[in-house]
Amino acid sequence: CSPSFAMSWLTPRLGEFFRQYPSLGLRVFGEFHTLDRTRMVRDGIEAAVRFDLGGYRDLSATVFLDEWLIPVASPGFLAGHPPITAPADLQGDWLLHDGSAWDGADTYEEWQHWFTQMGATPPPWAGGQQFNLSQLALGAALAGQGIAMGRAALVLQDVKAGRLVPVLAHSVLSRAAYSFVTTAHPSPAMDKVREWLVDEAQRFCEQRRQVLPAPAR
């Protein structure tokens, strides 16, 4: 499973899964390396939750959740810096980057995509901190070190609790989405996991709409 998603979204919900299916056991591994059918068969991987552009060959992939991108920062950071009312107010050395948004993504993928969708020119990237997990960039934002590009699935609870604040009331739809990937003939247990993920994602989407501004489509 994509590590940041596993930590922030999947793991807190697994208790509900086991309440529904007490006879099933799962082993969850966090990683985002390239996945293909050969590796799944070789390593005995029954299923994977991926955050990427999709396009899997010889595998069955169900997209169960899209992702919204929105800049977030701590209340303390915002209180200590000049007001931010437009993308042009964002300074490059304030920005916190997940340099590995997914396997093969550009170092500045998510911030670049957000600025492009907003019709704005990004600042020079030099000076902004870089991490290899979104969760690390968000941890830096929680510590008041800058502004991270938040994925709704990872920041919703922190926004609801007031630990993080949307910097601008504009989210954009990520180019990547979350997929449940299996071999062509998954086991009945993996079918149950897929169905549960779809149901959980639908409930999450209802919560997301109540807390964050939806992207323009």
- Closest to 9 measured CA to CA, from 217, 210, 205: 205
Q: What was the pLDDT predicted at 1?
A: 83
Q: What was the pLDDT predicted at 26?
A: 86
Q: What was the pLDDT predicted at 179?
A: 95
pTM for the predicted model, two decimal places: 0.93
Q: What was the pLDDT predicted at 147?
A: 98
d(CA 23, CA 25): 7
Sign of the C-alpha dihedral, residues 12, 17, 23, 29?
negative
pLDDT in tens, the chain (217 residues): 888 999 999 999 999 999 999 998 888 878 767 776 777 778 788 898 999 999 888 889 999 999 999 999 999 999 999 999 999 999 999 999 999 898 889 999 999 999 999 999 999 998 899 999 999 999 999 999 999 999 999 999 999 999 999 999 999 999 999 999 998 888 999 999 999 999 999 999 999 999 999 998 6
Q: What was the pLDDT predicted at 42?
A: 80
Question: Which residues, other chains included, contact 194 with Cβ-Cβ below 8 Å and sequence gap of 6+?
Answer: 47, 62, 64, 180, 182, 186
Q: What was the pLDDT predicted at 217?
A: 67
What domains lie within the chain, and their CATH numbers? 3-65+175-211 (3.40.190.10), 67-174 (3.40.190.10)
